[in-house]
């Protein structure tokens, strides 16, 4: 059986709460631990309290007044307030544990001679002794203790996790459900700042108790977030926060309910087949691995470097990482480093002060300041000049920047995601990119495969772009025929996904009907212009007889016929386009 605990409170913890602690220790025995504390504790116990308690056979001369801020509020079954503050000066006790108030006049305020003060202390001691006796022997403490235990048992059996903290973000309640969801133990988190317990912050940008914030005034708020479980597993949580108020209605802390939605959201994604994620389309193993990597990254606030050819969707990935992170409610600020005039790079990134150069007629915030509490995306980061690389490195190391023309340092809280279509290691070897900056940016590298390496995604992407282009052009339902799709799948796509999207938009307009056929495709895709990269090995030469025989054996299925002929589908489609007299059944 767990040992019970009682906390006696008074502002200075020098007289009334000390006498209550003394009587309670004498009456409670070994089954209950007794403590006392105050908001502004005196240096020593009032000497008259020591004298009067000695008359009752209790020695409190060795006691030392203690501060309530040094105690763990969630550790107590009951708090007793002897100074009639009713918790208004004890915000760390808001809600837990049960708090009762005893009306006992302060004997230290008695007027008159020494004997008159002694009489006041004796009367206070008599009242306190009777109150403590009733508390422990008439079932009052047992009722409070049982009430608290039942409430905690009820909360612990909820599927959701529950935590509570005071105005200083100090956690004083952490349910079994919260332990299960986070993998953390109540013993390890009670009394700690929730921002120190959850790194990155569980609340993200939804915190109402951030440093320097105005006193919170909200009624209730709900939001979704992601958090790392203690073993690194990613958790997707729905959070509902309600304020804890004192009797005067002032907010003294919050209770937060955590609902683990990870399994549900994974099931939804699985049911949908996960053809895409956060605006990124794909279902190949490479893309599924990318989606998992983005989700895993969401709980770690570290720099990410995305590499890949032009047009592979690096900014989409950066936006997805931001959207899945705890910074999702903060700004996402993209900047193309290669498009900035060399003389204005530092001003654009870090800002400038008025008069720092010609044309600087006012102070200007840079992109890093604009991205405060969010994410900055540095595209084409390899194009940054060396002088700017030095400033960027310093920011990554210290989290501070200096505006152009200013000697004042500005602290900015921002996550940096960079991207490049160049090989940064080679740029380091060439001396055009700092090696120390490379390691700072490349904490987590992500490489996006070119479209030619994920051919199975081409039909998925093409149909997606067709639907969107058709809606934009208001052309109704548009489809791509099999022969056209086969040619699209065989093309090398040097411009990657961006090139595919642009060509589809063009084809939707060019087709001027509800079907895009091979005849609508640009010459380079049809094979009449820029030749496609050929596979190694000799291609079988096709003739009308062999094609007709293969089609007959395949029941008109062109894909099967191509396999029988030992050629690619695109090769067969081109042959059929050149020989319209050969009739092939439409594939189902």
The pLDDT value given to residue 324: 83
Low-confidence ranges of the chain (pLDDT < 70): 1-2, 72-74, 85-96, 211-215, 228-233, 247, 266-275, 355-361, 472-476, 513, 527-541, 563, 566, 583-588
The pLDDT value given to residue 282: 86
CATH architecture of the domain with residue range 275-449: 3-Layer(aba) Sandwich (3.40)
Count CB neighbours of 456 within 10 A. Answer: 13
User: How do the domains of the chain map onto residue ranges?
Assistant: 4-148, 159-264, 275-449, 453-578
The pLDDT value given to residue 587: 45
- Asked whether the beta carbons of 168 and 263 are under 8 A apart, the reply is no
Distance between CA atoms of 184 and 161, rounded to whole angstroms? 11
Distance between CA atoms of 37 and 27, rounded to whole angstroms? 19
Longest dimension (CA), the chain: 127
Which tokens is 374 given?
A: 């969010």
Q: Where are the beta strands (DSSP E) in 170-302?
A: 171-174, 221-228, 234-245, 251-260, 276-277, 280-281
| Topology at the third CATH level for domain 159-264 | Beta-Lactamase (3.30.450)
Q: What is the side-by-side order of every strand in the sheet holding 444-447?
A: 332-336, 374-379, 414-420, 304-307, 444-447
Check for a shared fold between 4-148 and 159-264: no
Q: Cβ neighbours of residue 395 under 8 Å, at least 6 residues apart? A: 350, 368, 401, 412
Q: Cβ neighbours of residue 236 under 8 Å, at least 6 residues apart? A: 224, 226, 260, 261, 262, 265
Tell me the sheet residues that pair with 276. Answer: 281
**pTM value > 0.85:** no
- Give residue for tokens 């990254």: 297
Which tokens is 470 given?
A: 């058709």
The pLDDT value given to residue 469: 83
- Asked whether the beta carbons of 411 and 398 are under 8 A apart, the reply is no
Query: Closest Cα partner for 129 from 23, 51, 10?
Result: 23
Distance between CA atoms of 72 and 194, rounded to whole angstroms? 14
CATH class assigned to 453-578: mainly alpha
Q: Report angle CA 307, 312, 317 to the nearest 5 degrees.
A: 70
Q: How many CA atoms lie within 13 A of 364 on its CB side?
A: 20
CATH architecture of the domain with residue range 4-148: 3-Layer(aba) Sandwich (3.40)
Q: Report DSSP state, residue 505.
A: H
């Amino acid at each position: 059986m767990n040992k019970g605990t009682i906390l006696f409170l008074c502002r200075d913890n020098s007289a009334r709460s000390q006498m209550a602690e003394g009587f309670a220790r004498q009456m409670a025995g070994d089954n209950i631990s007794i403590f006392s504390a105050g908001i502004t504790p005196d240096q020593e116990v009032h000497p008259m309290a020591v004298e009067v308690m000695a008359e009752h056979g209790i020695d409190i001369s060795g006691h030392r007044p203690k501060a309530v801020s040094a105690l763990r509020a969630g550790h107590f079954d009951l708090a007793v307030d002897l100074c009639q503050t009713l918790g208004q000066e004890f915000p760390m006790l808001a809600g837990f544990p049960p708090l009762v108030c005893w009306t006992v006049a302060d004997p230290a305020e008695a007027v008159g001679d020494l004997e008159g003060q002694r009489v006041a202390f004796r009367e206070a001691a008599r009242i306190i002794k009777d109150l403590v006796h009733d508390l422990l022997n008439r079932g009052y403490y047992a009722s409070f203790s049982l009430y608290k235990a039942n409430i905690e048992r009820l909360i612990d059996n909820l599927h959701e996790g529950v935590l509570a903290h005071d105005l200083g973000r100090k956690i004083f309640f952490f349910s079994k459900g919260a332990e299960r969801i986070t993998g953390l133990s109540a013993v390890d988190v009670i009394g700690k700042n929730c921002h120190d317990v959850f790194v990155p912050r569980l609340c993200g940008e939804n915190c109402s108790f951030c440093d320097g914030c105005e006193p919170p005034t909200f009624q209730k708020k709900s939001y979704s977030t992601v958090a790392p479980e203690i073993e690194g597993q990613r958790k997707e949580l729905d959070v509902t926060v309600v304020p804890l108020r004192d009797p005067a209605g002032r907010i003294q802390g919050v209770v937060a309910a955590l609902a683990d939605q990870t399994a549900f959201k994974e099931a939804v994604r699985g049911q949908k087949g996960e053809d895409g994620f956060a605006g990124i389309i794909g279902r190949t193993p490479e893309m599924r691995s990318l989606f998992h990597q983005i989700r895993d990254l969401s709980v770690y606030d570290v720099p990410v470097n995305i590499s890949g050819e032009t047009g592979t969707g690096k900014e989409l990935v950066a936006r997805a990482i931001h959207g899945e992170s705890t910074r999702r409610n903060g700004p996402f600020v993209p900047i193309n480093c290669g498009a900035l005039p060399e003389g204005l790079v530092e001003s654009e990134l870090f800002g400038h002060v008025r008069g720092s150069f010609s044309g600087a007629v006012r102070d200007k915030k840079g992109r890093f300041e604009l991205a405060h509490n969010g994410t900055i995306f540095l595209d084409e980061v390899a194009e940054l000049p060396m002088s700017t690389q030095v400033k960027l490195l310093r920011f990554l190391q210290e989290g501070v920047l200096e505006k152009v023309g200013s000697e004042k340092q500005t602290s900015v809280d921002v996550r940096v995601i960079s991207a490049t279509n160049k090989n940064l290691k080679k740029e380091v070897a060439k001396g055009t990119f700092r090696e120390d900056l490379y390691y700072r940016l490349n904490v987590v590298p992500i490489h996006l495969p070119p479209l030619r390496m994920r051919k199975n995604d081409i039909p998925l992407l093409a149909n997606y772009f067709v639907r969107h282009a058709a809606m934009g052009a208001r052309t109704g339902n548009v489809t791509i025929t099999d022969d056209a799709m086969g040619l699209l799948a065989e093309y090398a796509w040097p411009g990657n996904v961006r090139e595919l999207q642009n060509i589809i938009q063009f084809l939707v307009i060019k087709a001027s009907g509800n079907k895009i056929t091979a005849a609508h495709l640009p010459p380079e895709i049809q094979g009449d212009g820029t030749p496609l990269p050929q596979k190694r090995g000799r291609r079988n030469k096709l003739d009308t007889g062999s094609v007709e025989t293969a089609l007959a054996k395949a029941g008109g299925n062109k894909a099967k016929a191509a396999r029988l002929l030992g050629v690619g589908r695109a090769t067969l489609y081109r042959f059929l386009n050149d020989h319209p007299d050969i009739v092939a059944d439409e594939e189902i």
